[in-house]
Amino acid sequence: MAMEKMWAGRFQKALDKKADDFNSSLRVDKRMYAQDIKGSIAHATMLEKQGILPSSDVDTIVDGLVGILQDIESGALPIADGAEDIHMFIEAELTNRIGDAGKRLHTARSRNDQVALDIRLYLRDEVETVVALIKDLIAAVVDKAEETADVIAPAYTHLQRAQPISFGHQLMAYAMMLLRDIQRLEDASKRMNVSPLGSCALAGTTYPTDRAFVAQALEMNGVMKNSIDGVSDRDFCVELLSAFALLMTHLSRFSEEVILWSSWEFKFVELDDSFTTGSSIMPQKKNPDMAELVRGKTGRVYGDLMAMLTVLKGLPLAYNKDMQEDKEAVFDALDTVKVCLEVFTPMIATMKVLAENTYKAAQKGFINATDLADYLTKKGMPFRSAYKIVGQIVAECIAKDCVLDTLPLADYQKYTELFTEDLYTEISLETCVSKRNSEGGASAASVRLQVAYVREVL
Ligand code: ARG
């Protein structure tokens, strides 16, 4: 049943049923009930302090709001359909419970600044949850990197075997990306956590409000300095969505990696049974569905970002109803990012790395060719000449169906006298990896330093 509208006074006819449903955002914004009540309590307290409302009214309002919060949380008060949005629902319920005092709460406030406040408060709190989930994932990645620091694997460019590395090194690359995702979210959160309340409909108010008091009561970093900006701006949603989109890009690339690694062609990892699925027809299948879904859901978060940008791009100042769409986009992205992180972390934590297979793969594909060129360069040959000779040696190996490690010394020496017996230890996979000790390099020692660094930052 639709409730009577608070603004019904000006109208002769009730809103059409379809139009009423279309207009309502309750289904989407009811999750902000706690923030709405918190904001209203801060607002009412300020009205009292400024002598705008008498203490008797404000006490009743605050008690009423606290009661509503408790009843929503206990389930005694369901947020049933019918209201236009969560703000109207709570105000109507308050007036139902306490009468006229409830009707005074909206003094020196508009739904325009109210909704802008609520969404900022809601997202500010949710960013903390997402950051905690990313921290859990980083911790799992770092543990896995430490566990596989001594596992030798090929690294790729163009998806062609390129150079040997510690397996943990590529895992740590993802840990570093995820650290930056946290920084971006925290940075966006700082700018978001500023109070628009007191902007009212768009022009501020003639009442002697104390906006800073409200901001402080809500633990915000100050007030928005322009009332039109206060009610019109949704750039904090765009910032958050773009931070989410980038986070999903990282999860999606990581997913793609896991999907490749767990294929029969690679067999670098085995995912735990509890994070894979079977096929309805092919009995041999063990599919990496979780990673695929994360990769797929990335598209949806990009869509949410595009939706938000597109909603805003042609809007004149100040509030327009189009802006009600902000919550659909930002909440969908938020929920998606959270479920993705919740399933991705245990999938990584339970993933087994198959060291024998990564080692075997590293033995193929001439991935120590750079090291062979470096060997000659360190003996005085210019790098470009060394590079050319090693290219010819690789071609010879391919023709003879052998690898650099098994080509006889006599064959090497046809190219240059600089080759001596020590070349074989210099190009062994163990040497190639352990000597990549430059800062941020691919050796096990470097991986352990990175692990320590990330744990310190966390
Ligand atoms: N439900 C609305 C929203 O989410 C609240 C603001 C409505 N303001 C108005 N003037 N109709 O944007």
234-254 per-position pLDDT tens digit: 999 999 999 999 999 999 999
Domains 19-107 and 112-152+159-360 share a fold: no
Task: List b or e across 19-44, with b for residues whose CB sees 16 or more CB atoms inside 10 angstroms.
Answer: eeeeebbbebbbbbbebbbbbbbbbb
Third-level CATH fold of 19-107: Fumarase C; Chain B, domain 1 (1.10.275)
Identity (one letter) of the amino acid at 355?
Answer: A
Q: Which amino acid is at 412?
A: Y
Of 234, 321, 326, 331, the one to substitute when testing ligand 1's pocket (max ligand atoms within 8 A of C-beta) is 321
Domain extents in the chain: 19-107, 112-152+159-360, 365-457
3-state SS, residue 83: strand
Looking at the CA of residue 319, tell me the nearest atom of ligand 1.
10
Residue 1's pLDDT band (cuts 50, 70, 90): low
Model confidence pLDDT, tens digit, residues 370-412: 999 999 999 999 999 999 999 999 999 999 999 999 999 999 9
Mean pLDDT (the chain, rounded): 96
Look at residues 435, 451, 455, 453 and name the one whose alpha carbon lies nearest to residue 443: 435
Q: Are 299 and 317 in contact (CB under 8 A)?
A: no
Is the pLDDT confidence value at 33 over 90? yes
CA 181 to ligand 1 center in whole angstroms:
31
pLDDT given at position 10: 84
For 6, other C-beta atoms within 10 Å of its C-beta total 16
Contact predicate 4/13, CB 8 Å: no
Q: Which of 29, 324, 327, 331 to mutate to test the pocket of ligand 1 (most atoms within 8 A of CB)?
A: 324
Per-residue model confidence (pLDDT) at position 4: 77
pLDDT at residue 55 in the model: 98
- Pick the catalytic residue: 74, 158, 274, 438? 158
Q: Output the pLDDT for position 7.
A: 78
Is the per-residue pLDDT at 2 higher than 70?
no
Residue nearest to atom 11 of ligand 1 (CA): 321
In the prediction, which pLDDT does 8 show? Answer: 80
- Which atom of ligand 1 is least distant from the CA of 201? 10
At 64-88, the pLDDT tens digits run: 999 999 999 999 999 999 999 999 9
pLDDT above 90: residue 258 = yes
Identify which of 22, 30, 111, 120 to mutate to test ligand 1's pocket (most ligand atoms within 8 A of the CB): 111
User: What kind of architecture, by CATH, is found in domain 112-152+159-360?
Assistant: Up-down Bundle (1.20)
| 279 assigned to active site | yes
Give the distance (Å) from ligand 1 centre to CA of residue 24.
9
How far apart, in whole angstroms, are the C-alpha atoms of residue 338 and residue 360?
Answer: 37
pLDDT tens, position by position, 102-159: 999 999 999 999 999 999 999 999 999 999 999 999 999 999 999 999 999 999 999 9
For residue 413, the model assigns a pLDDT of 96
Active-site choice (56, 263, 279, 385)? 279
Instruction: Note the residue count of the chain.
Output: 458
Ligand 1 pocket, residues with Cβ under 6 angstroms: 25, 29, 85, 111-112, 115, 319, 323-324
For 104, how many CA atoms within 13 A lie in the half-sphere containing its CB?
A: 21
What pLDDT is recorded for position 11? Answer: 86
Q: Which residues contact 191 (CB under 8 A, 6 or more apart)?
A: 236, 239
Q: Which CATH architecture has domain 365-457?
A: Orthogonal Bundle (1.10)
Q: Which atom of ligand 1 is nearest to the CA of 29?
A: 4
Using a 10 angstrom Cβ sphere, with 0-12 exposed, 13-18 middle and 19 or more buried, the burial of residue 372 is: buried
Residue pLDDT, tens place only, 407-423: 999 999 999 999 999 99
Q: Would residue 231 be called left, alpha or beta, if left means φ above 0 and alpha means ψ between -120 and 50 degrees?
A: alpha
